[in-house]
Amino acid sequence: MPVIGPDQLFPKGDPVDFDDTPEEAAVRSEARRFLDAHATRRADHDSSHLGNHRPASIAADREHRARAAAWQRTKLDGGWGAPSWPIEHGGRGLSPHLAALFAEEEAHYDVSARYFQVGLAMVGPTLMAHGSPEQLERFVSPLLRGEEMWCQLFSEPGAGSDLAGLATRAVADGDEYIVSGQKVWTTSAHLAEFGILLARTDPDVPKHRGISAFLVDMSSPGIEVRPLRQIDGAVHFNEVFFDEVRVPAGALLGGFNAGWGVALTMLNFERSAIGGGGMIEWPQIMNLARERGAGPIDRQDLARLWTRLELLRFLGYRVRTAITRGDPLGPESSVMKLAVSAFYEDVGNVLMGLQGPNGTLWSDSDPNRGVYTGVFLSQWAPRIGGGTDQVQRNIIGDRVLELPAEPRPDKTEVFKNLPRS
């Protein structure tokens, strides 16, 4: 893997254009016209939508999903269903950078846009990179129309950051595979019709080389989904158990024992989605500060937050400029993700401080309906999803700082010989 030094990551004298180009301005203007015609724009200080992605019950979750599916179909009819997807798959063929302009504008409107993020931002592009023609024909269109929802069946109780240590097995049996094992922290598995599953198909080779990926029907006999209720009362994550689940051989994605490549593709798309998204914006933070009254310490905290937010914005412009030029993204995405993680930890703590005693309240007893407290409780998500902060620091250490690689004898040892806890 080539090493990228600090001068290449942040080159001196490298101009960054902060203004929209004529092409960007045209895309943004078209996006606004569409959104104004089909959705209601929120006031800049309005924070009521921040709790909408944390329904307190599975029934409410399903209602939100139905609204999200309707909005996805509206976007598709208007040409915005998946603007960065190739035209032949129902997209507009826009660059990821131009497509992100629509997402920036959409964030200001009262719509449900996140329920199909796993499918649109991660599964669809992964299928296009690794799927067979038959798989593309079967799955891409329903995904794009919001008819089928997907989940990512990767993490296990003993395989999180060390994902290649997964133990879920897939054993060939004629024209099927029999899958047994457990996944955990699976977002929206209780709503999903399908999932991309990583399973071990060969324990007699080193762990990264014995993994395969499968497209799994979540209604298959032998699959049990157990929702995990979070401290905020919501259900995002699930345990998923596989008890001798039969999966057709045609569901193999990317080839036998080629699952690690599929995983890296999907994780890269996931990391980009996390780095490019946000839960709260500056006007909403200042709205709370003005309501509560900011004291001397609060003023220091708010100035620090604003500085961090500006640094994030400028780093985003640098990444945007690289994408516009067609430069391949390397550790920039890790730097961006670390900065986002640190910001949301800080902003969650500041929001709790601004609320005072109300920060301990929740739901109907809280004048803000638990919205700001929910941001505090959600601060851990960007620090874990798409690779933990520690993983991102290792990437930066390897590729930017040129530090010696950590000793990893487990990478070359046959998987079945590795000790298991």
The domain boundary residue, chosen from 269, 289, 305: 269
**pLDDT tens digits for range 267-284:** 877 766 655 444 577 888
**pLDDT tens digits for range 200-234:** 999 999 999 999 999 999 999 999 999 998 776 77
Candidates 320, 391, 380; CA nearest to 349 is 380
pLDDT surpasses 80 at 299: yes
pLDDT surpasses 90 at 58: no
Write down the pLDDT at residue 134.
Answer: 96
Whole-number percent of the chain with pLDDT over 90:
43
Three-class SS of 148-200: CCEEEECCECCECCCHHHCCCEEEEECCEEEEEEEECCCCCCCCCCEEEEEEE
CATH number of the domain residue 156 falls in: 2.40.110.10
Write down the pLDDT at residue 364.
Answer: 59
Q: Is residue 320 part of a domain?
A: yes
Write down the pLDDT at residue 274.
Answer: 56
Tell me: do 206 and 324 sit in the same domain: no
Give residue 214's domain range.
151-269
Task: Take residue 267 and report the two structure tokens written for it.
Answer: 């994780």
Write down the pLDDT at residue 73.
Answer: 95
Tell me: do 29 and 139 sit in the same domain: yes
Q: Is residue 412 part of a domain?
A: no
pLDDT surpasses 50 at 4: no
Tell me: do 288 and 395 sit in the same domain: yes
Tell me: do 140 and 28 sit in the same domain: yes
- Cα–Cα distances (Å) from 161 to 226, 304, 318, 391, in that order, read 22, 31, 28, 7
238 pairs with which residues across the strands?
227
Tell me: do 229 and 278 sit in the same domain: no
Tell me: do 256 and 337 sit in the same domain: no
Tell me: do 157 and 189 sit in the same domain: yes
Tell me: do 328 and 221 sit in the same domain: no
Give SS3 for 9: helix
**pLDDT tens digits for range 71-85:** 999 999 999 999 989
Rounded to an integer, the average pLDDT of 251-261 is 96
Do the Cβ atoms of 253 and 131 come closer than 8 Å?
yes
pLDDT surpasses 50 at 341: yes
Which residues form the catalytic set?
270
**pLDDT tens digits for range 161-177:** 788 899 999 999 999 99
Residue 336 pLDDT class (50, 70, 90 cuts): confident
134 sits in which H/E element: helix 133-144
Write down the pLDDT at residue 325.
Answer: 67
Among 203-217, 251-265, 333-347, 377-391, the minimum mean pLDDT is found in: 377-391
CATH number of the domain residue 282 falls in: 1.20.140.10
150 pairs with which residues across the strands?
194
Rounded to an integer, the average pLDDT of 355-363 is 75
Q: Is residue 419 part of a domain?
A: no
Q: Is residue 407 part of a domain?
A: no
Write down the pLDDT at residue 1.
Answer: 46
CATH number of the domain residue 144 falls in: 1.10.540.10
Tell me: do 306 and 386 sit in the same domain: yes
Residue 9 pLDDT class (50, 70, 90 cuts): very low
Residues contacting residue 206 through CB under 8 Å, at least 6 positions apart: 411, 412, 413, 414, 415
Q: Is residue 8 part of a domain?
A: no
Write down the pLDDT at residue 5.
Answer: 45
Write down the pLDDT at residue 329.
Answer: 61
Write down the pLDDT at residue 384.
Answer: 80
Write down the pLDDT at residue 114.
Answer: 76
Tell me: do 159 and 142 sit in the same domain: no
Q: Is residue 190 part of a domain?
A: yes
Q: How many domains does the chain have?
A: 3
Tell me: do 36 and 80 sit in the same domain: yes
Do the Cβ atoms of 183 and 156 come closer than 8 Å?
yes
**pLDDT tens digits for range 384-408:** 877 788 888 888 888 888 888 877 7
CA–CA separation, 208 and 65 (whole Å):
35
Question: How many other β-carbons are positioned within 10 Å of the β-carbon of residue 189?
Answer: 26
Q: Give residue for tokens 């931002």.
A: 121
The domain boundary residue, chosen from 202, 234, 269: 269
- Higher-confidence residue: 368 or 404? 404
The domain boundary residue, chosen from 235, 269, 303: 269
pLDDT surpasses 80 at 33: yes
- Higher-confidence residue: 119 or 114? 119
pLDDT surpasses 80 at 181: yes
Q: Is residue 404 part of a domain?
A: no
pLDDT surpasses 60 at 300: yes
Q: Is residue 417 part of a domain?
A: no
Tell me: do 176 and 217 sit in the same domain: yes
CA–CA separation, 356 and 353 (whole Å):
5
Written as one letter, the residue type at 206 is P
216 pairs with which residues across the strands?
195
